[in-house]
Amino acid sequence: MTSLFRIIKFALQGFFRNFWLSVVTITMMLMAIFSVTLLVGMDYIRQATIDGVEQKVDILISMKPEIDKDKVETLVSDMNGLSEVKSVRIITPEENKVLFEQSNLDDNTKKALEIFEEGENPFSYSLAIQAHDLDQYVIISEFAKQDKYNGWIEDSTFRDYETFVEKINNLAKMVNKYSWYVIAVFSLISIIVIFNTIRISIYTRKNEIMVMKLVGAGNWFVRMPFLLESTFYALAAVLIMIAIVYFVISFLQPSLNTYFQGTQVIDLSGYFRNNFLFIFGVQFLVLSFLNIVSTTIALRKYLKV
Amino acid sequence: MIKIHNLSKNYGKDVHALRDVNLHIKPGEFVSIVGQSGSGKSTLIRLLIAEEKMDSGQITIGGWEITDIKNHEIPTLRRQLGVIFQDYKLLSKKTVFENVSFAMEACGFKSSDIKKTVNQMLSLVGLKDKRDRYPHQLSGGEQQRVAIARSLVHKPKLLVADEPTGNLDSINTREIIDLLKKINNLGTTVVLVTHDRDVVNSLRGRVITLEKGYVISDQENGKYLL
Q: What is the mean pLDDT of residues A14-34?
A: 90
A211 in contact with chain B, both atoms CB, cutoff 8 A: yes
Same domain, A261 and A192: yes
B110–A2 C-beta distance less than 8 A: yes
Is the pLDDT at A153 greater than 90, yes or no?
no
What is the rounded CA–CA span in Å between residue B217 and residue B59?
20
pLDDT at B132: 95
pTM for the model: 0.76
Name every residue whose Cβ is closer than 8 Å to that of residue B99 and which is 6 or more positions away in sequence. B90, B91, B135, B146, B150
**Single residue among B155, B183, B207 that ends a domain in this structure:** B155
Tell me, yes or no, whether A6 lies in a domain.
yes
Q: Which helix (H) or strand (E) holds B8?
A: strand B2-11
Contacts of A2 in chain B (CB under 8 A): 108, 110-111
A2 in contact with chain B, both atoms CB, cutoff 8 A: yes
- Chain B: residue whose CA lies nearest to A208: B91
B69 in contact with chain A, both atoms CB, cutoff 8 A: no
Same domain, A183 and A276: yes
B103–A216 C-beta distance less than 8 A: yes
Same domain, B219 and B164: yes
Least confident of A145-149, B40-44, B203-207: A145-149
Tell me, yes or no, whether B71 lies in a domain.
yes
Same domain, B100 and B113: yes
What is the total count of domains within chain B?
2
Name every residue whose Cβ is closer than 8 Å to that of residue A119 and which is 6 or more positions away in sequence. none
Q: What percent of chain B has pLDDT over 90?
A: 56
Same domain, A182 and A42: yes
pLDDT at B123: 92
What is the total count of domains within chain A?
2
Which candidate in B42, B69, B78 is best for mutational testing of the A interface (most A CBs within 10 A)? B78
What is the rounded CA–CA span in Å between residue B44 and residue B76?
19
Same domain, B181 and B129: no
**pLDDT confidence band for A248 (50 / 70 / 90):** very high
Is the pLDDT at B38 greater than 90, yes or no?
no
Instruction: Report yes or no: B165 and B176 within 8 Å, Cβ to Cβ.
Output: yes
Least confident of A182-186, B32-36, B94-98: A182-186
Burial class (CB in 10 A: 0-12, 13-18, 19+), B179: buried
A173 in contact with chain B, both atoms CB, cutoff 8 A: no
Q: Which domain holds residue A39?
A: 2-54+167-302
B154–A217 C-beta distance less than 8 A: no
The rounded Cα A189 to chain-centroid distance in angstroms is 22
B103–A221 C-beta distance less than 8 A: no
Residue of A6, A211, A216 lying closest to B89 (CB–CB): A211
For the domain that residue B41 is a member of, what is the CATH number? 3.40.50.300
**CA neighbor of B18 nearest in space, from B35, B40, B46:** B40
pLDDT at A145: 83
Angle between helices A282-302 and A219-259 (to 10 degrees): 150
pLDDT tens digits along B124-176: 888 999 999 999 999 999 999 999 999 988 888 899 999 998 888 888 899 88
CA-based nearest distance B71→chain A, Å: 8
pLDDT at B37: 86
A206 in contact with chain B, both atoms CB, cutoff 8 A: no
A214–B102 C-beta distance less than 8 A: no
Same domain, A87 and A123: yes
Between A50 and B67, the more confident residue is B67
CA atoms within 13 A on the CB side of B14: 0
Q: What is the mean pLDDT of residues A108-121?
A: 76
Is the pLDDT at B5 greater than 60, yes or no?
yes
What's the whole-number average pLDDT of chain B?
A: 90
What is the rounded CA–CA span in Å between residue A208 and residue A214?
10
Same domain, A48 and A63: no
Q: Which domain holds residue B114?
A: 90-155
The rounded Cα A231 to chain-centroid distance in angstroms is 28
Instruction: Report yes or no: B113 and B121 within 8 Å, Cβ to Cβ.
Output: no
Tell me, yes or no, whether A12 lies in a domain.
yes
Contacts of B150 in chain A (CB under 8 A): 215
Same domain, A88 and A124: yes
**pLDDT confidence band for A119 (50 / 70 / 90):** confident
Edge-to-edge strand ranges of the sheet holding A153-156: A85-91, A126-131, A59-63, A153-156
The complex scores an ipTM of 0.85
Same domain, A126 and A50: no
